[in-house]
A and B are shown apart, each in its own frame.
Chain A
Amino acid sequence: MKRLLITKTPKVYVGGAFIRSESGRVFAMKDADGNFFANIPQCTRKDLRNAVEAAAKAGPSWAKRTPYNRGQIIYRLAEMIEARSLELAEAITLGSTKKSLVTAARNEVAASVDRLVYYAGWADKLEQVLGNVNPVAAPYFNFTMTEPMGIVGLIASQEASLLGLISLIAPAIVAGNTVVASASELNPYPAVVLGEMLATSDLPGGVVNLLTGFHRELVPTFATHAHLRAVIAEATADERKTLALGAAETVKRIHTFKAEDNINWYSDSFESVYRIQDTLEYKTVWHPIGA
């Protein structure tokens, strides 16, 4: 007997729960052969607002955890993805508009796992590299230390639907930021599957919030939302302009990668402590030296 086709209507992972868009809208996703595959939530600026509220709620306790513990949690996430890597690889090939090779998808999952492991390792080491005891010409200890910025907006790569997303998430959360990420709109499915993995990982709900939808609808709100302290984005020229103008109003840090440059997300440049620095603030403290 022919089985009935099971098409999914997946939900996205926000605030530790799976939500539909508050608008109720979805957009149809087709697989590489052009067949209908799933209805994906078309998130709105209000979903973004709600996700930021969720991130704000999760933020203080995430930032307060010991760096060692944050590293453990991110490492465990890598472990879990590794164990379910076939599922993620399938998600990448299924939703891809281009006919991509299964081996390429598997490479992308492997690189994503490696990236998480890389940044997990930095959790309790970045302070040694980025912080400092400064020599000053007075009887003071002078320390510079790092603090997370707060809630960071991420606009993920359109092409590298998993690796591009993880490469932005990992360096932001390792230092204690929480993130709201807009997934690839060309292939949002790996982000949906990643959400299902995040939900069963030890990462507290609200630390990573994933939205699917159209970047043209979400980018203006990413730019102007005052509660987002930084936006890291792969963006087109138009989107970069929107981000720069909106961010100026709210004095927000913007770091963009040019979408037209055909970014190589496998590049070593995405594994660097300076990617973590992108979402950190420095605090310098003067403390008198006792007698």
Chain B
Amino acid sequence: MSAPLAPKALKRLFDKIGTVDAVGIEERVLKYGTRSIKTDSKLWGLRCAVSMVDLTTLEGKDTPGKVASLCQKAIEPHEFSDTPKVAAVCVYPSMVKHARKYLGVSPVKIASVATAFPSGQAPLKTRLAEVRYAVAQGADEVDMVINRGAFLSGEYALVQDEIAAVVQACGKSALKVILEVSELETYDSIRAASCLAMQVIREGDFIKTSTGKTGLNATLGNNQVMLEAIRDHYLATGVAIGMKPAGGIRSAKQSLQFLTAVKETLGDRWLTNKRYRFGASSLLNDLVRQIEKQRTGAYQAPYAFSEAAESY
């Protein structure tokens, strides 16, 4: 029943929001790699990127101890330079109370994934209960996943209603809506899902590329599609939505290209961690490594930084 529904519903949706010129997007994002960002502006960009990191651990083997060291890293990414704190730590709901304990009064926020992350394949009631649990435990931000099954079968109203229900369950906590772009497959679908989500979320909420649990994560291409959707939404309604690419951004160089995309698409007002985040774990160490390189003039070894995975 749902199969024939999809094309019609999709057409109605695209009549309203417009489609994406995929080739144009690819060409556009290629240019971001060509900007020459050196010395002072590079340092500014690196520090800005550090302040936007949602330092993430989302593994079955997470323990309170692991969360404790993650929180310490979030508060003080590197001991020898005045590196800014990261924006937030991102953990599973059961780890929120531990993060709360270790972060104390620091301004670093706690983001919790919820709604049966990463698949979202649980009854709505269960998903909402999980959101309320995370918020009650002290999560400042909630990262939800959309119902991709419903989206792909054309039940856009259902997708939107579920997001609206999660917005309510969040209360004062900010919401990040994960589209899981790799499962949406086309730029058109990414734009459609972005617009559906933005119609029901609030100023200060985010849309987010992916869970980091699938093969393809944040790329400059899907980042660009979502940034342009945010721009169109802002111009139409005046509501400023934030953006969070997640997964796959590992090097400082990549993060500067993403920041270039933000500046050239949405402008300086989005170059703040209130409106732009990086969902990442290994990115942070590469950022502080490059900041140290700028400070000392010497290339640094990755294992000289805390929480490094590299040892050779």
Contacts and interface: CB of A to CB of B under 8 A. Distances in A.
A226 B299 contact: yes
A224 B297 contact: yes
Main secondary structure of the interface of B (DSSP, over half): loop
B300 interface: yes
12 contacts: A49-B299, A56-B302, A56-B312, A60-B311, A60-B312, A224-B298, A224-B299, A225-B298, A226-B299, A226-B304, A227-B299, A250-B298
Contacts of B301: 226-227
Contact of B302 (A49, A225, A227, A250): A227
B82 interface: no
Interface string A135-160: 00000000000000011000000000
A249 B298 contact: yes
Contacts of A168: none
Contacts of A190: none
A56 B300 CA distance: 12
A52 B299 contact: yes
Nearest to B301: A227
Contacts of A224: 297-299
Nearest to B311: A60
A232 interface: no
B310 interface: yes
Contacts of A221: 299
Contacts of B302: 56, 227
Interface string B272-312: 00000000000000000000000001111110100000111
A63 interface: yes
Contact of B300 (A60, A63, A227): A227
Contacts, number: 29
Main secondary structure of the interface of A (DSSP, over half): helix
B312 A226 contact: no
Interface string A197-228: 00000000000000000000000010011110
A150 B301 CA distance: 11
A51 B310 CA distance: 16
A59 interface: yes
A226 B298 contact: yes
Given A52-B299, A226-B304, 18 more contacts: A56-B302, A56-B312, A59-B312, A63-B312, A150-B312, A151-B312, A224-B297, A224-B299, A225-B298, A225-B299, A226-B298, A226-B299, A226-B300, A226-B301, A227-B299, A227-B301, A227-B302, A246-B298
A150 B304 CA distance: 14
Contacts of B310: 56
A246 B312 CA distance: 21
Contacts of A49: 299
A49 B299 CA distance: 7
A208 to B, nearest CB: 16
Nearest to A178: B312
Which of B299, B301, B311, B312 gathers the greatest number of chain A CB atoms within 10 Å? B312
Contacts of B312: 56, 59-60, 63, 150-151
B162 to A, nearest CB: 43
A162 B51 CA distance: 49
Nearest to A150: B312
A152 to B, nearest CB: 12
A49 B297 CA distance: 13
A49 B312 CA distance: 15
A56 B301 CA distance: 10
